[in-house]
Amino acid sequence: ILNVEQSPQSLHVQEGDSTNFTCSFPSSNFYALHWYRWETAKSPEALFVMTLNGDEKKKGRISATLNTKEGYSYLYIKGSQPEDSATYLCALYSGGGADGLTFGKGTHLIIQP
């Protein structure tokens, strides 16, 4: 069973501030890394799928970086807004004949007005 760790577990941020959080994974099992945003009472929705070491992806105020050699990814949110409040999940795809994703427990982000 792969170990995908996310930190912090929860985070309170003032509206307008920028923030970031971490996803760690075993680098030897890396094939692809997914980030999902999960709002309360809704379904998880994909933000990014990343495969290349050093890759950086951006969607509006949200961006992510990837370091496959050391086994981590950062998610950044610039100028947080109340609508950014959600749980952010990262998930590792390890390939090797096994499909499906191994998810971390998520970072629960609350933006305070």
Work out whether 85 is an interface residue with another protein (CB under 8 A). Answer: no
28, 60, 83, 100: which one contacts another protein (CB under 8 A)?
A: 100
> Within 13-72, which residues bind another protein (CB under 8 A)?
31-32, 34, 42-46, 49, 51
| Tokens, residue 81 | 């807004």
Strands (E), 8-106: 10-14, 19-24, 32-38, 45-50, 56-59, 62-67, 72-77, 86-93, 102-103
CB of 44 to another protein, least distance (A): 5
The residue (of 77 and 89) whose beta carbon lies closer to another protein is 89
Task: Give the range of 10-18, 59-67, 77-85, 88-96 binding another protein by CB under 8 A.
Answer: 88-96
CB atoms within 10 A of CB 47: 20
Work out whether 108 is an interface residue with another protein (CB under 8 A). Answer: no
Residues 46 and 59: beta-carbon distance below 8 Å: no
Cα(21)–Cα(11) distance, integer angstroms: 9
Could you list the residues that contact another protein (CB under 8 A)? Answer: 1, 4, 31-32, 34, 42-46, 49, 51, 89, 91, 93, 95, 98-106
